[in-house]
């Protein structure tokens, strides 16, 4: 999946309010790595349902970063995790890495 994150939605919300924009980016930078780490921990501990809770949170961030394809992927994967499956893990981690790299550039 080669979808690129962007800040269009955040800029729409911010308007001219640069303070909010910076504050929000910082929230993403703080919150995202914690959620990513927690997700991976649950997968490694074979706790798919707990991992599903994190996917639920992370998919909201996909939306915020205008990643509609990633969001759709996360919806399917969340369902899979709730049913105990983890086949979508590799694809999901790839999305997380894309976002992680992107957040390092802003």
Partner 1 sequence: MNCIIIDDEAAARAIVNQLCSKIPDLEVIEEFDNAIDAMKFLNQHLIDVVFLDIHMPGFSGVDFVQTLKNPPKIVMTTSDTEFAIASYEYEAIVDYLVKPITPERFEKCVEKVKNSLTQQPKVIEDETSSTETDEDLYINIDRRLIKLKLNEIMVIEAKGDYIDIKTEKEDYRVHTTLKKIKAKLPEKLFLQIHRSYIINFTKIIDIEDNSVLIEKNVIPISRSNRPELMRRLNLL
CB of 36 to partner 1, least distance (A): 14
Q: Which is nearer to partner 1, 26 or 94 (CB)?
A: 26
Q: Which is nearer to partner 1, 8 or 101 (CB)?
A: 8
Q: Which is nearer to partner 1, 28 or 95 (CB)?
A: 28
CB of 105 to partner 1, least distance (A): 18
Asked if 55 and 81 touch (Cβ cutoff 8 Å), the reply is yes
Question: Which positions lie near partner 1, rule CB under 8 A?
Answer: 9, 12-14, 17, 20, 23-24, 27-28, 30-31, 53, 56-57, 59-61, 63-64
Distance CA 79, CA 74 (A): 8
Burial category of 77 from C-beta neighbours within 10 Å (exposed 0-12, middle 13-18, buried 19 and up): buried
Show the CA angle centred on residue 33, arms to residues 27 and 36, nearest 5°: 125
């Amino acid at each position: 999946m080669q979808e690129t994150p962007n800040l269009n939605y955040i800029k729409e919300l911010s308007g001219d309010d640069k303070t909010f924009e910076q504050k929000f980016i910082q929230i993403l930078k703080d919150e995202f790595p914690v959620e990513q780490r927690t997700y991976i921990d649950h997968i490694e501990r074979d706790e798919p349902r707990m991992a599903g809770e994190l996917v639920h949170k992370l998919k909201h961030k996909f939306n915020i970063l205008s990643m509609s394809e990633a969001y759709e992927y996360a919806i399917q994967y969340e369902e899979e995790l709730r049913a105990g499956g983890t086949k979508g893990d590799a694809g999901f981690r790839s999305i997380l890495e894309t976002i992680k790299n992107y957040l390092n550039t802003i």
